[in-house]
A and B are shown apart, each in its own frame.
Chain A
């Protein structure tokens, strides 16, 4: 019974393609996040949703579009993929999005753009 799950685990695609990554949490949390981890392991937040509402939108190209159909799911769609999008993308969730809360991370999606 995985708490935060992501699909796919690996994604290899060509430049210019459009792809989606899905995330689901079964923890009953209100808040979900997308992070990008680059090749040097540096992690940076991309987006955060609270009860399906976008609350954090960092400086991310608008080729990246998150969608939250319900509070248990947060998907990430990427248009016109570029080489620099190659990274590991992590989804996370937390109970209500409070600053003291623990965030629970998924296993990551390893995206390679050729």
Chain B
């Protein structure tokens, strides 16, 4: 079946540090890949996505590249801010048919001033 594995948290960084959150997936074909972010007490919102191999999704300084050869979609940001503190979820949706998002377990990011 489909699955998503992402690094355990929490990830604790100082402001302006470089961020990487690893995400790998298992799926047949070419799924669509997503990063969603959940700020404290809120619902999830899309951060970025990529729908085919070698696509790069980007938003708010975050980037992730769809790597088919390594089945990965790692999230990066060059300089984090305190306001980036949140839980980040990697997710996939299989090709074709109706969307069924499979999520990773989430990675909490804590950024201190």
| Residues of A bordering B, CB below 8 Å | 4, 31, 40-45, 48, 50, 55-56, 90, 92, 94, 97-108
Contacts and interface: CB of A to CB of B under 8 A. Distances in A.
A105 B39 CA distance: 12
A55 B49 CA distance: 24
A90 B101 CA distance: 13
B106 A105 contact: no
A42 B26 CA distance: 17
A42 B106 contact: yes
B96 A99 contact: yes
A48 B44 CA distance: 17
A60 to B, nearest CB: 14
Nearest to A107: B43
A102 B42 contact: no
Contacts of A31: 98-99
Given A40-B105, A50-B98, A55-B98, A102 B93 contact: no
B97 A41 contact: no
Contact of A105 (B45, B93, B95, B100): B45
A9 to B, nearest CB: 10
A43 to B, nearest CB: 4
A54 B49 CA distance: 26
Contacts of B99: 31, 48, 94, 97-101, 103
Interface in B69-105: 87, 89, 93-101, 103, 105
B31 A99 contact: yes
A8 B33 CA distance: 31
B41 to A, nearest CB: 8
A106 B45 CA distance: 9
A81 to B, nearest CB: 22
A105 B32 CA distance: 18
B106 A41 contact: yes
B95 A99 contact: yes
Nearest to B87: A41
A43 B89 contact: yes
Given A43-B89, A108-B43, A102 B95 contact: no
Given A42-B103, A42-B105, A44-B103, A99 B44 contact: no
